[in-house]
Each structure stands twice: as C-alpha cells, then as structure tokens.
Chain A
C-alpha cells in the first residue's frame, strides 16, 4: 500500500473506534474479570502472606496480623544480598549469551542460504523441551570437575585442560545455551515477517552486508530482541533446576534455591518466600517498564499490505562456515547432553573410572526404562500431562490472543491495565505461585480442586506473560492498514480478526500455543500443590525420581518425555508450516 492511498483513508482513530464502540467497555470488563480471577486474586493472597504471619486459608482473613518482619528479614539478610547478586550475574550473563546465540541462529536460519536450514531450525528448539532439572543433571554428568565425561575424554586424549561446570561460569553457559531458543523464537519470526526492501535499499546505497545487519536488520527487529531477552532473563530468574544441580555443589546460591529452601524448611516459611517473591516482582516490573520506555513512540511495523518473500542472503562458500557454527552449537546443546542422558539412562550406574569403561557393554541395560514403566504412575502421569498441556495451550492461547489483540491493536481505555496484569505473573517463582493458587482457589465452590482443570488454570495464569509477549511481537508487525482495508470493505471487527489478523498472526499463534504446551508439560512448582493422586503429572514424577537419587531413572523418564514432546512438536511444526504457507498466500 502506498503513502498516497494511505493518506486517502480517514484518520485511523476514527476507523478503529467505529466497530468497537458498542462492545468495548463490556469486553474490557470481561478481560479484567478474567485477569482478576487468574492474577489479582492469587497475588493478593501472596501479598497477604508477605505482609502478615498468617495463612489466609487456615487463619482466615479475619485474623490478618500485619507485619513487615518478612520484608525486613529479607532486605537485611546478607545471604539474600549474595543470592540476589549471584542471580543477577548468572541470569545477566546467561541472557547476553542467549541473545548472541539466538540472534545469530535466527539470522542463519531465516536470512541466509546455509545448507540444511530446516533441520537446524528444528533441532535448535530441542533445549526448550528439556526440563531445567534435567539440563542441570545432564551438564553435571558432562562437566563435573572430578568425574565429568568431558574431563574423562580430555584425560584420554592427553589434554591437561579440565572443565568445571559446578561454577558461576557453568551456570551462565548452561543458562545461555538453554534459553537461546526463547530469543530465537522471537527473532526468527520477526526476521521471517520483515520486508526485505529496507535491507535492499541499504545495500543499494552501498552499505556492506555486515553494516546492513547491524544498522537495518537488527534495529528493525529490536522489539523482538528486547522481548526475547527480557523474557529469557526473567524466566532464568525463576529457574530452580539448573542452579540446584550445578550451583549447589559449589555453594553458589541464587534466589530460587533460597526460596526453595524457605519452602522446604520445617516449618515451611512461605510468608518469607512470598516477601522474596514480591521483591522479584518489583525487579521484573522495573525491567518491563524499561522495555516499554525504550520502545515507546517507535514504529516497528514491517509487515505491510505488500507481498514479499524473506530474502536469503547468498553467502557463497561462507555458507559452510555458518553451517559449521550451527552444527557446533547443536553438538554442544543437543548432542552432548542427550548423549549424557542416554548414557545415564542405559547405564546401570554412572561410575565411569576411565574412558574405556564407557564402552563396557555389560554395564548397559534397559533396567531404568523397565523400572519407569513398571511404575503404575508413569502412564497415568503421561496421559494427565498431555491432557493438561492441551487444555492449557487451547485456553491459554485463546486468552493470550484476546489480550494481545486488545492491548496491541485497539485503543480501548483500560488496555494498559490489562497489559500490566497479564505481565505480572512472570515475576513470581513457581513454588511460591503454586501456594498462592492453592490459597486462592481451594475454597471455590464447584469442585475445581482435585481436577485437571485447576492445574490448567494455574498454567494459563502462570505462563500468560510468555504467551502474550510472544503473540504481541506478531501483532506489532501487522500493519494497521490491512485491518483498515477490511473495515472499509464492510467487515466487522470479528470478521476482520477472522479473515485478516488471525491468518497473518497464525504462525505466532501456533508458536505461542506450542510454547504454552511445552511450558505446561515442564511446569513443576505450581503442580506440586495442586495435583492429587488422580491428576499426577510428569514433572511431579520426575522430581520424585530426582529426589530419590535415581539419575538413571530420571534420565530414562526425561528421554521418554523428550520423545513425546518431539513427536507432538513435529506435528505442530507441520501445522505451523501449513499456516505460514496459507498466510503467505493471504499476504
């Protein structure tokens, strides 16, 4: 669409207001009620806990004993300061690494003619399926200073150098490589949807490919980079499994391991944990505010009403170099830890004296898989997990679409509050949010407690920020002129969403729902409080294997989980490709 035709249109505000006037306040009220139930009510419970020394369900609201003790304890405890500092270093370093890897990867996959791109793209998402606890365990097996497989190999080939993943550097590397897919998801879809004419203009003006990347391409997808890095930073802040497995042996504590200790204390100190959680929320709120301030007033619309195909840069012989880089990353992030897990899952015991002992086939068997499938809880947990994952993906996807659309594509009053409320849960660590949901929802009439639905609701609420942010990137990139064209042609709001917005945003919607599905399947913290004997999920069973000191069974069960996820994600990837093709046709 040209500038001339756009100028011929009436003012945007007049058009967008027209179809929404009738239902807008009702719609906003509806969303606010849903968010109040999912976010505010549990958060109030959390605040109640942090500001008192009573339990809202057990003691009742009537016995509210206000107290700032928990905050004071937390603020003046030097171990909390150290844990906070460690968390910032580990997550900050991890984010820098994740952004570097994720961005490079998405550029290689989307904008170059590197060979086997499809395969690289698929394989690079694998770290996302791996529960953090399993990632920590796998890298412990690989990188332990005393018995790590990498060190065993170095010793065998006569290299004196040794790696030590039980360290801050180990934490940063593992965080960085496992959360790079978050950045990749955001930036790849932004790069895919970007009009290449801007880059072409840059090159025609004499800029080199390198200059174009750093002055045109990356600045244009800044919202995606910022959203991806913010999300990965905040998600890292809330991860327990990696620092528990790698930080604990080196006595490196971060906030989550501190919170876990508080909740595992006898008696559990949830009120203090809630105070730490509130502090985490403040940090996150500052980050979100900073992100919005940076992006405010800038337009990042790069998907316009013009057909285009993302341009692949011809790298010539250098394409084998990028292929080599991608392969190296995949070897480090997929093959090595998977190999460690396979060895752990099939080996009876993980005592490996030297390199030759690794090939002693008498030590390998199916014993851990047999034990896992002998357990009647295994099949039950798999089925429950799939059910709760599907419900979460569908309900959460629909809600995130509704919120994302309202926040990004309309000017209704109240949309800022909706955005804020939908972002809040990201800051609350899973273990604490689990108890907040339990406090909030156990007393509800209608028998919600004890069903799969309460788990799904908790997951929808907990992962709403991730889903909404992932979708918002897609919305930001669709130019308003496309919707305006539909309204001029007489389409109503719902018709426009159905025929224009949904098809164009479909890759983003499918990606968000997939993300939600994966996150729901991995989620442990809130499951632990809401599952019952009939609604056990895989994450709870995995923790049980880990807590039981069964690395073999933990590895076997996580391989089972990975295979199930890989099959399901293969399916959604196939669906998403179909969606991308049909949206290309629409565009």
Chain B
C-alpha cells in the first residue's frame, strides 16, 4: 500500500464528519470538559511528538487548551512524587513508559475506564486505573546507503557479515523500553543470542535517540530501534528503512492515568478517552510510528503483516523480577561498565 493511501485510510476516523462524539464520552462529559477549558499533561514521551498529539486532539476539541510538562522518565517520577507530597501536583493527566513505577503510585490515581476498555489487551494493563495511551514497538532499522544485504530477522543480527561495530545497540540498563527488548532476546531468541551478537563487536549508545541519529549519519549501519524514533526520519526522506521481524515485536504499553487531585477531571477524562479511542490510536500509528495495545488494531505500520508479525508483551511479574540479574549478565556479555 502506498504511504499516502495508507495514511489516509488510517486517518479515516478523523475525517468522517458524522462520526459519533459518543466514542469519546457522553454529551455531559464533553460539555463539562469544555467548560473547564484546559488541562495540564505530564509526559515522559518526547515533547515534539506529544505536541502533535495535542494538535490533533484540538482539531476535535478546540475549546480545551492542553499545557504540557515534559521530563525524562526518572526525573518526571521524582517530580510527580515530590509535587504530590507537597500538595502541588499540577497534572491532570500523566503519561509514563515505566509501568512498574506508575504502579507504585497507583493510589494517587482516580478510577478511570475508557469507553472502549474492552478493546484493549488485558496483558497491556498493570492496573484498572492506568491505560496504554501510547504503545511503542521494537523494529530493526538500517542505513539504506550502507547495507547491501539488509537483515530480515532478529537472528540475522548474529551473522558474521555484520561484524566490526556495524550494529549499534542502546545499552540494556537504559530504561524500561530497552529492558523489554533485552528480555525478549533472552526469552525468545535463546540464551546464546547475546553472546553470539556481542562477539561481532557492537557499538553501544546511551539511548535510542542518539543511536537513530548515528544510524542516519552512517556511524552504524544497523540498529534495533523503537519504530517511532526512526519512523519520522524515514518519512522525511532519511537514508534509512525499518522492518518488523517475524520472531516477534516486543512492545511497550505505557501507563497513563488521571490523578485524584486533578483540577480538570472532565477535560482529563476526555483527553484520555480520545487518545485511547480508535481515532487517537490510528493517528498515533499513522503519523507518529506508534504501535497499539488494542486487540484489533485500527491500522498497521508500513510493512506490518498481521498474519506473520506477532507482538510480544512481557509478563509483568518476570519483567520486574528478572530485571537486575539479567541486566547484570547483559552488561558483562556486551562489556558495558555499569
């Protein structure tokens, strides 16, 4: 499918003029939200990306102004905890990638269920109060100018032809999203996978963003990356491409919720409802390169064949329990000094 056709199809929800407002909430909720007229959104996602989400939301609900506070994951959690303890939490909606940390704050959040709750995979939820407004997935990206024989599977990334720091990796302990990939590699691709790959000589990067930049510049030729990080660059014409491997796509469902202290609870609910709706999810898939945690995705990223590609969601228990010992082993295998 051509990209333009694909995007138009994915955004079909947005352009359908008579689409029922009830998908996003009752008439009363929308009226109350518009009366509040504003909300404050705390996010650990990239500000630029979330600006686009807000813009799209405002096309549907122009009367609600969304103010955003963005900080990297760990710093955002510290800030939320401290503000809450001082009784000064300004957030109406909080969006965070680390489900474990958000679960620790579960009592801080009010009860909330989106109208389309039944559409979501139960394994993507860690609490009935927290919902995956954003879901990201891992792809294999490569520089089209440098790689003649592109990898097609995760296993290909252990081939000798890619030795000598051609492959770049985000360090295992960089955060929850990378830990998801590391866990997937060990559980699904086998106990020897890391060893075989590390033997090739791997260039290590502290996070996904500098790695995606290094890939486009040609510092490395191949890199496992979160699809959304490389997707916008590909759309803009960068010399890069990304594939989803048949062994599985590790996904990271975020945990988003509405604090009990929200001053604009109706606007917050409407914003959450819209982001979790088919329209909100389809927009994020088509425009931002996200995946979704919906059982029946409203759209698929380019190159995603639902008959072949399966998503892989980490079990929450082992996700927390195995983290430290496995990351220690990963560090040793890849020669990363913690």
Contact = CB atoms under 8 A, between A and B. Distances in A.
A58 interface: yes
A377 B72 contact: no
Interface string A159-200: 000000000000000000000000000000000000000000
B88 to A, nearest CB: 6
B145 A267 contact: no
Contacts of B71: 528-529
A251 B204 contact: yes
B30 to A, nearest CB: 23
A297 interface: no
A350 B216 contact: yes
Contacts of B201: none
Contacts of B211: 549
B84 to A, nearest CB: 8
B203 A533 contact: no
Interface string A548-584: 1111010000000000000000000000000000000
Contact of A268 (B78, B88, B145, B214): B78
B300 to A, nearest CB: 24
B115 interface: no
Given A251-B337, A350-B216, A544-B48, A435 B78 contact: yes
A298 interface: no
A375 B51 contact: yes
Contacts of B336: 251
A147 B218 contact: yes
B217 A248 contact: no
Nearest to B51: A375
Contacts of B214: 249
A351 B82 contact: no
B278 to A, nearest CB: 27
Given A82-B337, A549-B209, A438 B51 contact: no
Given A253-B337, A377-B51, A549-B212, A450 B90 contact: yes
Contacts of A348: 236-238
Interface in A106-145: 144
A76 interface: no
A12 B258 CA distance: 68
Interface string B319-333: 000000000000000
B15 interface: no
Given A146-B219, A251-B337, A545-B48, A266 B237 contact: no
B205 interface: yes
B234 to A, nearest CB: 11
Interface stretch (B17-25, B62-70, B302-310): B62-70
B237 A534 contact: no
A146 B47 CA distance: 31
A353 B145 contact: yes
Given A266-B101, A351-B143, A529 B78 contact: yes
Interface of A: 55, 57-58, 79, 82, 144, 146-147, 244-245, 248-249, 251, 253, 257, 261, 263-268, 270, 348-353, 367, 375-377, 435, 438-439, 442-443, 449-450, 528-529, 531-534, 540-541, 544-551, 553
27 contacts: A55-B81, A55-B82, A57-B82, A79-B338, A146-B218, A146-B219, A248-B206, A249-B214, A251-B204, A263-B74, A264-B74, A268-B74, A268-B77, A349-B237, A349-B238, A350-B217, A351-B238, A353-B145, A438-B78, A439-B82, A449-B86, A528-B71, A528-B72, A531-B69, A532-B69, A544-B70, A548-B46
Given A266-B101, A547-B46, 14 more contacts: A58-B85, A82-B337, A146-B219, A265-B74, A266-B98, A351-B143, A376-B51, A439-B82, A449-B88, A532-B90, A533-B90, A548-B46, A549-B211, A553-B48
